[in-house]
A and B are shown apart, each in its own frame.
Chain A
């Protein structure tokens, strides 16, 4: 199921002696919109291998007009969706974006594409680039 392969290109790496990239994406899953809709979701795990908190304030997609960081919260039987202004990944920790939790909302695809190129930014600084294929449709 979750075999979408992510190629993570780390562009922020000041120290060449550091063997591990500071931020690594794994288990990337990108869903396609339900027919007729203009939105879908992306899920992944982000691991911070550095000694400092990494902040992601926005995400852009080469194949979508807009990407929003969201969190679904089910509390007291009520499902809610809220924007995440800044996603913080503490040093040494992994933040998992998953169904029913934190996720990327991909809005208004700009055309038919087989894969999605995501850029994770802190302000204008590119922190991580991820290419991922769509998950296969498994519902039918």
Chain B
């Protein structure tokens, strides 16, 4: 990640945080537990990445359904599988309580060097049906992450043994392919089960 992209990401993150803070103040008291709904949904930028079969993924791929979007990488033994398990369990609980439609779980790789489309597919399929794994070029990944204020940075290490620091947030992307709401920080199943249906219902 170049210094320019890093600065852009930081600026976006600060702007996003300010927006979220103002939104939280304006909407108080909110019924949501941990999610912040953006004051105005932000359209996803133009980008071209790949799904698990190698088909092109653009912002239009997000249209038509609600999406819970997490940024991570498959060479990640702890946080990434734990977060996907939480999202999958939350979706199962939502299904059990009659939520319809259900959100799609999307994992976008912050390690495009190692994460092939097929690997992303196997990875997300492990956590349930209808999940979407996205990877592609670093350049196209940065188009998306920079616009969304998502930070990631490859850490020093061996060629096949390195970590990638990344934003821990789960983003809610609405059926109009707009960044709609945000879950930051520590993720709990019950918070998603509580907040996601409210967000989808226009909460």
Whether A79 contacts B81 in the complex (CB less than 8 A), given A34-B74, A139-B88, A139-B128, comes out as: no
Whether A37 contacts B123 in the complex (CB less than 8 A), given A79-B79, A99-B78, A103-B78, comes out as: yes
Query: Is the CB of A105 closer than 8 A to any CB of chain B?
Result: yes
B184 touches A81 (CB 8 A): no
Q: How far is the CB of A28 from chain B (nearest CB, A)?
A: 16
Report A27-60 CB contacts with B as 1/0, cut-off 8 Å.
Answer: 0000100111101110000000000000000000
How many A-B residue pairs lie within 8 Å, measured between CB atoms?
A: 85
A139 touches B163 (CB 8 A): no
B78 touches A70 (CB 8 A): yes
Q: Give the dominant DSSP class at A's interface.
A: strand
* CA–CA, A107 and B155, complex, Å: 18
Residues of B contacting A41 with CB < 8 Å?
A: 77-78, 81
A140 touches B168 (CB 8 A): no
Among B78, B81, B166, B185, chain A packs the most CB atoms within 10 A around the CB of B78
Residues of A contacting B168 with CB < 8 Å?
A: 74, 77-79
Query: Is the CB of B165 closer than 8 A to any CB of chain A?
Result: yes
Query: Is the CB of B198 closer than 8 A to any CB of chain A?
Result: no
Query: Is the CB of A72 closer than 8 A to any CB of chain B?
Result: yes
Among B126, B165, B169, the residue within 8 A (CB) of A34 is: B126
Query: Is the CB of A136 closer than 8 A to any CB of chain B?
Result: no
* CA–CA, A140 and B128, complex, Å: 6
Query: Is the CB of A92 closer than 8 A to any CB of chain B?
Result: no
* CA–CA, A106 and B78, complex, Å: 11
Residues of A contacting B125 with CB < 8 Å?
A: 35
Query: Is the CB of B82 closer than 8 A to any CB of chain A?
Result: yes
Report B153-176 CB contacts with A as 1/0, cut-off 8 Å.
Answer: 001000001010111110000000
A77 touches B78 (CB 8 A): no
Q: Of residues 74 to 112 in A, which have CB atoms within 8 Å of B's CB atoms? A: 74, 77-82, 99-100, 103, 105-107
| Chain A interfacial residues counted at CB < 8 A | 26
Residues of B contacting A37 with CB < 8 Å?
A: 74-75, 119, 123
Q: How far is the CB of A10 from chain B (nearest CB, A)?
A: 27
A31-B81, A34-B123, A81-B76 given; name 13 further pairs at CB < 8 Å: A70-B78, A74-B186, A79-B79, A79-B167, A80-B155, A80-B165, A81-B78, A81-B163, A81-B165, A99-B79, A107-B161, A139-B85, A140-B127
Q: List residues of chain B with CB under 8 Å of any chain A CB.
A: 13, 72, 74-79, 81-82, 84-85, 88-89, 118-119, 122-123, 125-128, 151, 155, 161, 163, 165-169, 184-186
19 contacts between A and B (CB under 8 A): A34-B81, A34-B122, A34-B126, A35-B123, A35-B125, A37-B119, A40-B77, A72-B78, A74-B79, A77-B13, A77-B168, A77-B169, A78-B167, A79-B165, A80-B165, A99-B82, A103-B78, A105-B77, A139-B84
Q: List residues of chain A with CB under 8 Å of any chain B CB.
A: 31, 34-37, 39-41, 70, 72, 74, 77-82, 99-100, 103, 105-107, 138-140
